[in-house]
Amino acid sequence: MHPPPPSAAAAPGFIPPADSRDPDARRPGSSRTPRVVKKKGELLTEDEKKANHIASEQKRRQNIRVGYDQLIQIVPTLTPSQRSEALILQKTVEYIRYLLMEREILESQVKEAGH
């Protein structure tokens, strides 16, 4: 059985959601491709479209990394050295099932105590 997780904000190494306007706030020293913004009605060149696509994809990947990092901090059976996405998801599902089972047990105890 797993102990209940500490409050997410109090967990050591907790990674708060970063400001979505600044993906570099999550990782110091990260490089990103700046998005090209033009005035309304102006069309982007193919190179500008490609640069925007690359920037969007980098942001999406970074957000996924942050999510996995948060799962590693919350799920007690995971350690920062475990970087396999499949393992992280598997252990997260196991932990959620454990929490649901614990909840059922506590709810039945409350019902029994109320009678």
Q: Would you write out the chain's pLDDT as a tens digit for each of its 115 residues?
A: 445 444 444 444 445 544 444 444 444 445 566 777 877 878 989 999 999 999 999 999 999 999 999 999 999 999 999 889 999 999 999 999 999 999 999 999 999 998 6
* Distance between CA atoms of residues 88 and 13, nearest Å: 17
* Distance between CA atoms of residues 84 and 107, nearest Å: 34
pLDDT tens digits, one per residue of 8-39: 444 444 455 444 444 444 444 455 667 778 77
Residues 82, 88, 94, 95: is their CA dihedral positive or negative?
positive
Neighbours of 83 (CB within 10 A): 13
First and final CA of the chain: distance in angstroms?
28
Neighbours of 60 (CB within 10 A): 11
Any idea what DSSP says for residue 10? G
Do 71 and 54 touch, CB atoms closer than 8 A? no
Instruction: Pull the structure tokens for residue 61.
Output: 């990947």
